[in-house]
Amino acid sequence: MKTTTHPQNGNGSYSQIFRVQTEALRAMHDFLSGRGLIQLMPVILSPITDPLNHSVDDAYITYNGQKLQLTKSMILHKQIAVSALDTRGIYIVSPNVRLERVQSSDRHLLEFSQLDIELKTATASEFMTLIEDLMIYIISQVKATCADELEKLNATLRIPRRPFRTHTSWSLLEEYGPHYESEISRSEDDLFWITDFQREFYDREDPEHHGHYVNYDLVYPEGYQEALSGGERDYEYYVLVRKIRERGQKLDDFAPYLELARAGMLGPSAGGGLGIERLIRFLTKRSNICEITLFPRIPNSIIKI
Protein backbone atom coordinates (compact mmCIF):
# COMPACT_ATOMS: atom_id res chain seq x y z
CA MET A 1 0.00 0.00 0.00
CA LYS A 2 1.28 3.47 -0.90
CA THR A 3 1.92 6.03 1.84
CA THR A 4 0.62 9.53 1.33
CA THR A 5 3.60 11.84 1.69
CA HIS A 6 3.53 15.48 2.60
CA PRO A 7 3.80 17.82 0.87
CA GLN A 8 2.69 16.32 -2.40
CA ASN A 9 3.69 18.62 -5.20
CA GLY A 10 7.31 19.21 -4.22
CA ASN A 11 7.82 21.98 -6.78
CA GLY A 12 7.30 25.09 -4.69
CA SER A 13 4.03 26.02 -6.37
CA TYR A 14 1.71 25.80 -3.35
CA SER A 15 1.71 29.56 -2.73
CA GLN A 16 0.59 30.24 -6.30
CA ILE A 17 -1.99 27.43 -6.18
CA PHE A 18 -3.52 28.60 -2.90
CA ARG A 19 -3.62 32.20 -4.08
CA VAL A 20 -5.64 31.02 -7.10
CA GLN A 21 -7.85 29.02 -4.71
CA THR A 22 -8.38 32.08 -2.48
CA GLU A 23 -9.42 34.24 -5.43
CA ALA A 24 -11.66 31.51 -6.89
CA LEU A 25 -13.46 31.09 -3.53
CA ARG A 26 -13.82 34.85 -3.12
CA ALA A 27 -15.28 35.12 -6.63
CA MET A 28 -17.68 32.28 -5.84
CA HIS A 29 -18.98 33.99 -2.68
CA ASP A 30 -19.22 37.43 -4.36
CA PHE A 31 -21.14 36.00 -7.28
CA LEU A 32 -23.59 33.85 -5.34
CA SER A 33 -24.36 36.42 -2.64
CA GLY A 34 -24.74 39.01 -5.43
CA ARG A 35 -27.40 36.78 -6.98
CA GLY A 36 -29.37 36.74 -3.71
CA LEU A 37 -28.36 33.27 -2.51
CA ILE A 38 -27.71 32.73 1.20
CA GLN A 39 -24.83 30.70 2.59
CA LEU A 40 -25.47 27.86 5.05
CA MET A 41 -22.97 25.91 7.13
CA PRO A 42 -22.31 22.25 6.34
CA VAL A 43 -23.68 19.16 8.08
CA ILE A 44 -21.08 16.45 8.66
CA LEU A 45 -22.75 13.96 11.05
CA SER A 46 -26.14 12.52 10.21
CA PRO A 47 -28.21 9.32 10.32
CA ILE A 48 -28.90 9.88 6.58
CA THR A 49 -26.72 10.78 3.63
CA ASP A 50 -26.41 10.65 -0.15
CA PRO A 51 -26.63 7.04 -1.41
CA LEU A 52 -24.38 8.11 -4.35
CA ASN A 53 -24.45 6.59 -7.78
CA HIS A 54 -21.44 4.35 -7.13
CA SER A 55 -20.47 2.30 -4.12
CA VAL A 56 -17.96 3.52 -1.54
CA ASP A 57 -17.23 2.22 1.98
CA ASP A 58 -19.55 3.85 4.52
CA ALA A 59 -17.92 6.03 7.18
CA TYR A 60 -19.87 5.34 10.39
CA ILE A 61 -19.33 6.44 13.95
CA THR A 62 -21.40 5.60 17.01
CA TYR A 63 -22.19 8.34 19.47
CA ASN A 64 -24.46 8.04 22.47
CA GLY A 65 -25.77 4.75 21.10
CA GLN A 66 -26.72 6.34 17.77
CA LYS A 67 -25.12 5.23 14.51
CA LEU A 68 -24.16 8.26 12.43
CA GLN A 69 -22.50 8.65 9.06
CA LEU A 70 -19.99 11.20 7.89
CA THR A 71 -21.95 12.82 5.07
CA LYS A 72 -21.02 11.93 1.49
CA SER A 73 -22.74 15.08 0.26
CA MET A 74 -25.26 17.67 1.47
CA ILE A 75 -27.93 16.77 -1.09
CA LEU A 76 -30.67 15.55 1.27
CA HIS A 77 -30.08 18.33 3.82
CA LYS A 78 -29.92 21.06 1.21
CA GLN A 79 -33.18 19.87 -0.37
CA ILE A 80 -34.81 20.06 3.08
CA ALA A 81 -33.20 23.45 3.81
CA VAL A 82 -34.15 25.16 0.56
CA SER A 83 -37.73 23.92 0.95
CA ALA A 84 -37.95 25.29 4.50
CA LEU A 85 -36.40 28.71 3.95
CA ASP A 86 -37.91 31.76 2.32
CA THR A 87 -35.05 32.34 -0.12
CA ARG A 88 -34.28 32.15 -3.82
CA GLY A 89 -31.52 29.67 -3.12
CA ILE A 90 -28.76 28.45 -0.83
CA TYR A 91 -25.12 27.52 -1.10
CA ILE A 92 -22.78 25.63 1.19
CA VAL A 93 -19.10 24.79 1.01
CA SER A 94 -19.41 21.30 2.41
CA PRO A 95 -16.77 18.72 3.29
CA ASN A 96 -17.58 15.27 1.88
CA VAL A 97 -16.12 11.98 3.06
CA ARG A 98 -16.20 9.26 0.43
CA LEU A 99 -14.14 6.16 1.08
CA GLU A 100 -13.66 5.48 -2.64
CA ARG A 101 -12.60 2.06 -3.89
CA VAL A 102 -11.05 3.34 -7.11
CA GLN A 103 -7.61 1.77 -7.63
CA SER A 104 -5.73 4.63 -9.20
CA SER A 105 -7.03 8.08 -10.06
CA ASP A 106 -5.73 11.57 -10.73
CA ARG A 107 -9.03 13.17 -9.63
CA HIS A 108 -10.36 11.30 -6.55
CA LEU A 109 -9.75 12.08 -2.88
CA LEU A 110 -11.30 10.39 0.16
CA GLU A 111 -12.11 13.78 1.64
CA PHE A 112 -12.89 16.83 -0.50
CA SER A 113 -15.15 19.89 -0.61
CA GLN A 114 -18.13 20.70 -2.75
CA LEU A 115 -19.74 24.00 -3.51
CA ASP A 116 -23.33 22.84 -3.11
CA ILE A 117 -26.04 25.07 -4.59
CA GLU A 118 -29.83 24.58 -4.59
CA LEU A 119 -32.38 26.96 -6.13
CA LYS A 120 -35.99 26.94 -4.96
CA THR A 121 -38.58 26.03 -7.63
CA ALA A 122 -35.97 26.43 -10.39
CA THR A 123 -35.77 24.57 -13.69
CA ALA A 124 -32.67 22.80 -14.97
CA SER A 125 -32.15 25.50 -17.55
CA GLU A 126 -32.28 28.30 -14.92
CA PHE A 127 -29.70 26.47 -12.82
CA MET A 128 -27.45 25.77 -15.82
CA THR A 129 -27.51 29.46 -16.81
CA LEU A 130 -26.52 30.45 -13.25
CA ILE A 131 -23.60 28.00 -13.34
CA GLU A 132 -22.42 29.22 -16.75
CA ASP A 133 -22.40 32.79 -15.37
CA LEU A 134 -20.60 31.59 -12.22
CA MET A 135 -17.86 29.74 -14.11
CA ILE A 136 -17.28 32.67 -16.47
CA TYR A 137 -17.07 35.00 -13.45
CA ILE A 138 -14.64 32.77 -11.51
CA ILE A 139 -12.34 32.29 -14.51
CA SER A 140 -12.42 36.03 -15.39
CA GLN A 141 -11.65 37.00 -11.78
CA VAL A 142 -8.79 34.50 -11.45
CA LYS A 143 -7.33 35.71 -14.75
CA ALA A 144 -7.60 39.34 -13.61
CA THR A 145 -6.22 38.89 -10.08
CA CYS A 146 -3.72 36.02 -10.48
CA ALA A 147 -1.89 36.81 -13.73
CA ASP A 148 1.57 36.34 -12.12
CA GLU A 149 0.59 33.12 -10.36
CA LEU A 150 -0.90 31.66 -13.55
CA GLU A 151 2.24 32.54 -15.46
CA LYS A 152 4.48 30.84 -12.86
CA LEU A 153 2.21 27.81 -12.95
CA ASN A 154 2.33 27.85 -16.75
CA ALA A 155 -1.48 27.75 -16.71
CA THR A 156 -3.36 29.34 -19.60
CA LEU A 157 -7.01 30.04 -18.87
CA ARG A 158 -9.61 30.81 -21.47
CA ILE A 159 -12.93 32.44 -20.65
CA PRO A 160 -15.55 29.96 -21.88
CA ARG A 161 -17.75 30.99 -24.82
CA ARG A 162 -21.51 30.87 -24.54
CA PRO A 163 -23.66 28.96 -25.05
CA PHE A 164 -21.91 25.97 -23.47
CA ARG A 165 -22.39 22.95 -25.73
CA THR A 166 -24.84 20.26 -24.52
CA HIS A 167 -24.79 16.52 -25.27
CA THR A 168 -27.04 13.78 -23.90
CA SER A 169 -25.35 10.89 -22.06
CA TRP A 170 -27.00 8.32 -24.31
CA SER A 171 -25.89 10.00 -27.57
CA LEU A 172 -22.29 10.09 -26.23
CA LEU A 173 -22.51 6.45 -25.13
CA GLU A 174 -23.52 5.53 -28.68
CA GLU A 175 -20.73 7.61 -30.24
CA TYR A 176 -17.80 6.96 -27.86
CA GLY A 177 -18.71 3.86 -25.81
CA PRO A 178 -18.62 3.54 -21.99
CA HIS A 179 -15.61 5.89 -21.45
CA TYR A 180 -17.34 8.72 -23.26
CA GLU A 181 -16.74 11.33 -20.57
CA SER A 182 -12.93 11.14 -20.63
CA GLU A 183 -12.89 10.91 -24.45
CA ILE A 184 -15.09 13.92 -25.09
CA SER A 185 -13.44 15.93 -22.30
CA ARG A 186 -10.13 15.52 -24.16
CA SER A 187 -11.59 16.64 -27.48
CA GLU A 188 -13.54 19.72 -26.30
CA ASP A 189 -11.80 23.05 -25.68
CA ASP A 190 -14.48 24.75 -23.55
CA LEU A 191 -16.66 23.71 -20.62
CA PHE A 192 -19.73 21.74 -21.78
CA TRP A 193 -22.81 19.94 -20.43
CA ILE A 194 -23.87 16.31 -20.53
CA THR A 195 -27.55 15.76 -19.68
CA ASP A 196 -29.96 12.93 -18.92
CA PHE A 197 -28.16 10.37 -16.75
CA GLN A 198 -29.95 7.50 -15.07
CA ARG A 199 -28.88 7.96 -11.43
CA GLU A 200 -29.88 8.69 -7.79
CA PHE A 201 -33.53 8.64 -6.65
CA TYR A 202 -33.61 12.37 -5.90
CA ASP A 203 -32.85 13.47 -9.50
CA ARG A 204 -36.16 14.17 -11.27
CA GLU A 205 -37.37 11.56 -13.70
CA ASP A 206 -38.91 13.15 -16.79
CA PRO A 207 -42.64 12.44 -16.35
CA GLU A 208 -43.14 12.45 -20.13
CA HIS A 209 -40.19 10.16 -20.96
CA HIS A 210 -40.00 7.25 -18.53
CA GLY A 211 -36.37 6.33 -17.82
CA HIS A 212 -35.08 9.78 -18.77
CA TYR A 213 -33.87 12.30 -16.19
CA VAL A 214 -33.83 16.08 -15.92
CA ASN A 215 -30.24 16.22 -14.73
CA TYR A 216 -26.80 17.29 -15.91
CA ASP A 217 -23.03 17.21 -15.45
CA LEU A 218 -20.79 20.15 -16.23
CA VAL A 219 -17.54 18.85 -17.73
CA TYR A 220 -14.12 20.52 -18.08
CA PRO A 221 -12.29 20.45 -21.41
CA GLU A 222 -8.65 19.37 -21.98
CA GLY A 223 -9.24 15.99 -20.30
CA TYR A 224 -10.03 17.41 -16.81
CA GLN A 225 -13.46 15.70 -16.86
CA GLU A 226 -16.37 16.18 -14.43
CA ALA A 227 -16.81 19.52 -12.67
CA LEU A 228 -20.37 19.38 -11.30
CA SER A 229 -23.35 17.02 -11.08
CA GLY A 230 -26.91 18.06 -10.40
CA GLY A 231 -30.51 18.06 -11.50
CA GLU A 232 -34.07 19.06 -10.88
CA ARG A 233 -35.31 17.15 -7.83
CA ASP A 234 -38.14 14.77 -7.15
CA TYR A 235 -39.82 15.64 -3.86
CA GLU A 236 -43.18 13.87 -3.71
CA TYR A 237 -43.32 11.07 -1.13
CA TYR A 238 -44.76 8.35 -3.36
CA VAL A 239 -42.36 9.14 -6.22
CA LEU A 240 -39.34 9.04 -3.84
CA VAL A 241 -40.48 5.75 -2.26
CA ARG A 242 -40.95 4.12 -5.68
CA LYS A 243 -37.53 5.27 -6.89
CA ILE A 244 -35.71 4.19 -3.71
CA ARG A 245 -37.29 0.74 -4.02
CA GLU A 246 -36.45 0.52 -7.74
CA ARG A 247 -32.79 1.03 -6.84
CA GLY A 248 -32.84 -1.78 -4.28
CA GLN A 249 -32.21 0.71 -1.46
CA LYS A 250 -33.85 0.59 1.99
CA LEU A 251 -36.55 3.11 2.91
CA ASP A 252 -35.26 2.97 6.51
CA ASP A 253 -31.94 4.48 5.42
CA PHE A 254 -33.79 7.69 4.52
CA ALA A 255 -36.57 7.58 7.15
CA PRO A 256 -36.38 11.17 8.54
CA TYR A 257 -36.13 12.60 5.00
CA LEU A 258 -39.11 10.54 3.82
CA GLU A 259 -41.14 11.66 6.86
CA LEU A 260 -40.64 15.28 5.78
CA ALA A 261 -41.62 14.37 2.21
CA ARG A 262 -44.77 12.65 3.48
CA ALA A 263 -45.63 15.77 5.49
CA GLY A 264 -45.36 17.85 2.29
CA MET A 265 -42.26 19.68 3.55
CA LEU A 266 -40.13 19.11 0.45
CA GLY A 267 -40.73 21.27 -2.60
CA PRO A 268 -39.41 21.58 -6.14
CA SER A 269 -35.82 22.72 -6.58
CA ALA A 270 -32.84 22.32 -8.88
CA GLY A 271 -29.20 22.38 -7.96
CA GLY A 272 -25.83 20.77 -8.12
CA GLY A 273 -22.45 20.26 -6.47
CA LEU A 274 -19.14 21.53 -7.84
CA GLY A 275 -15.96 19.83 -6.61
CA ILE A 276 -13.65 22.58 -5.29
CA GLU A 277 -10.40 20.60 -5.58
CA ARG A 278 -11.24 19.64 -9.15
CA LEU A 279 -11.97 23.28 -9.94
CA ILE A 280 -8.59 24.38 -8.52
CA ARG A 281 -6.84 21.56 -10.39
CA PHE A 282 -8.45 22.83 -13.61
CA LEU A 283 -7.66 26.50 -12.94
CA THR A 284 -4.01 25.75 -12.10
CA LYS A 285 -3.72 23.07 -14.81
CA ARG A 286 -2.18 20.46 -12.49
CA SER A 287 -2.10 16.88 -13.70
CA ASN A 288 -3.04 15.28 -10.35
CA ILE A 289 -5.56 16.46 -7.73
CA CYS A 290 -2.94 15.67 -5.02
CA GLU A 291 -0.87 18.58 -6.28
CA ILE A 292 -3.43 21.13 -5.12
CA THR A 293 -3.98 19.88 -1.58
CA LEU A 294 -1.50 20.00 1.32
CA PHE A 295 -2.95 16.97 3.09
CA PRO A 296 -4.31 14.72 0.35
CA ARG A 297 -6.30 11.63 1.24
CA ILE A 298 -5.59 9.32 -1.64
CA PRO A 299 -7.76 6.24 -2.24
CA ASN A 300 -5.98 3.02 -1.26
CA SER A 301 -3.09 4.83 0.44
CA ILE A 302 -2.00 5.16 4.06
CA ILE A 303 -2.82 8.61 5.43
CA LYS A 304 0.36 9.83 7.11
CA ILE A 305 -0.76 13.13 8.61
What is the smallest separation between the CB atom of 101 and ligand AMP, expressed in angstroms? 11
Closer residue to ligand AMP, CB minimum distance, 95 or 237: 95
Q: Which amino acid is at 192?
A: F
In the window 243-282, what residues touch ligand AMP (CB under 6 A)? 273, 275, 277-278
Residue from 19, 77, 78, 98 touching ligand AMP (CB under 6 A): that is 98
Residue from 122, 227, 290, 292 touching ligand AMP (CB under 6 A): that is 227
* Burial (CB count within 10 angstroms: exposed 0-12, middle 13-18, buried 19+), residue 296: buried
Residue 197 partner contact from Mg ion, ligand AMP, none using kind-dependent CB cut-offs of 5 to 8 Å: none
* Burial (CB count within 10 angstroms: exposed 0-12, middle 13-18, buried 19+), residue 207: exposed
User: Dihedral, CA atoms, 286, 287, 288, 291, nearest 10 degrees?
Assistant: -30
Q: Does 100 bind ligand AMP (CB under 6 A)?
A: yes
Residue from 108, 167, 204, 286 touching ligand AMP (CB under 6 A): that is 108
Angle (nearest 5°) at CA 155 between 283 and 138: 30
Which residues are bridge partners to 95 per DSSP?
A: 113
In the window 63-82, what residues touch ligand AMP (CB under 6 A)? 73
Closer residue to ligand AMP, CB minimum distance, 147 or 213: 213
Element (H, E) at 26: helix 14-34
Taken in order 85, 119, 269, 252, is the CA torsion positive or negative?
negative
What is the smallest separation between the CB atom of 208 and ligand AMP, expressed in angstroms? 25
Which residues bind to Mg ion, rule: CB under 5 A? 229
Q: Which residues in this chain contact ligand AMP in the complex, by CB under 6 A?
A: 73, 98, 100, 108-109, 112, 114, 226-229, 273, 275, 277-278
